[in-house]
Homo-oligomer: A and B are copies of this chain.
Amino acid sequence: MAGVKLLGLWYSPFSHRVEWALKIKGVEYEFIEEDLQNKSSLLLQSNPVHKKIPVLFHNGKPIAESMVILEYIDEAFEGPSILPKDPYDRAIARFWAKFLEDKVPAVGKSFFLKGEEQEKGKEEAYEMLKILDNEVKDKKFFTGDKIGLADIAANFVGLWLGVFEEASGLVLVTREKFPNFCAWRDEYINCNQNKKYLPPRDELVAHFKARFQAAAAAAAAAAAAAPK
């Protein structure tokens, strides 16, 4: 398997982080859509520990974990750099990338939950948003005027979170509560540096609307089948 291939899911923010980095670098790649309902032997063999996308293949060798892949892409390919040059700025970018990486899964999952579990997820989301709202005050991007590692890691809060809100009807972000975050998000979605890399919002909304409806129907069926 020569060249560069990416095993991913078109609607996944984790997968999209990698595509974004490859596009910044100008790397040609083949995208292979994974089927989570019937995981491919390629996925199971190339990421046996987590069995999760994305997996990047470069000259046949697999690399898993989106943030690990971003660092690899920055080091292995020529082109505009994804991390800043200065070690301290790099540390700050990595700190925020890790913060987002750690917080995003629980926040994303909370949209699929109900009742008490969802309330817990919402609390976590508010806590994350409060911290981000404070951090992005008067900032164009996380580390400087150029999209970098932390901004790519922030794609869930930049685009997917709003998609999840629209598709589910559950609204977490308001301009009153998180004014700086909203200003940053507007810039993030609309600036020319990002616009060309973000996936089509309407297609994401349609996809997740169907997912949320299916999850709600499954939960209702399980409740109806439960012993009374």
Interface residues in chain A, defined as those with a beta carbon under 8 Å from any beta carbon in chain B: 49, 58, 61, 63-65, 67-69, 71-72, 75-76, 87-88, 90-92, 94-95, 98-99, 131
Contact = CB atoms under 8 A, between A and B. Distances in A.
B49 A69 contact: no
A76 B71 contact: no
B72 A90 contact: yes
Contacts of A64: 95
B68 A98 contact: yes
B87 A68 contact: no
A75 B87 contact: yes
A204 B213 CA distance: 52
Contacts of A87: 72, 75-76
B75 A95 contact: no
A27 B58 CA distance: 36
Contacts of A94: 65, 68, 71
22 contacts: A49-B99, A49-B131, A58-B88, A61-B88, A63-B88, A63-B92, A63-B95, A64-B95, A65-B94, A65-B95, A65-B98, A67-B98, A68-B91, A68-B94, A68-B98, A71-B90, A71-B91, A71-B94, A72-B87, A75-B87, A76-B87, A76-B88
